[in-house]
Amino acid sequence: MHCVHRVSHRASGRGRVSEGKELSAVCELCAKYLSLVDEHRILVSRFRIDRLSAREREVFLLIGLGLSNSDLVKQLQISERTVKAHVSRILAKLGLSRVQVATIAAAYRAKMCT
């Protein structure tokens, strides 16, 4: 099955690439994208990341970078008490330890960036 995209492309001065090659390259890109979307859905549903509020997701992703509570205070410009409340709610909603959250958040970030 091919995607319906059409792309004009010039390959390093050799003229236009044939439509078949263009379509094949675009189809590969679409397949990779759809695969990443599927992986993202699985990750979100498996760990219930969708249950987090927007701010909790932001904290979640920063935890994935290895930020400590004091780092989160500086990054988000909020009080330590508020950071602790966000982190506690994240841990409770996901039913995970902070180390597990950091590991999953790092994997989630990696999938978002590929």
Q: What is the pLDDT of residue 50?
A: 82
Are 58 and 108 contained in the same domain? yes
Please state the pTM of the whole predicted model: 0.60
- Model confidence pLDDT, tens digit, residues 72-109: 999 999 999 999 999 999 999 998 899 989 988 888 88
The total domain count for the chain is 2
d(CA 19, CA 36): 26
Name the residue with higher pLDDT: 63 or 17.
63
- Model confidence pLDDT, tens digit, residues 2-29: 444 444 444 444 445 455 666 677 777 7
Are 37 and 2 contained in the same domain? yes
Are 4 and 29 contained in the same domain? yes
Residues near 108 by beta carbon (within 8 Å), at least 6 away in sequence: 43, 49, 60, 61, 64
- The domain of 111 spans 52-114
**Residue 77 bridge partners (DSSP):** none
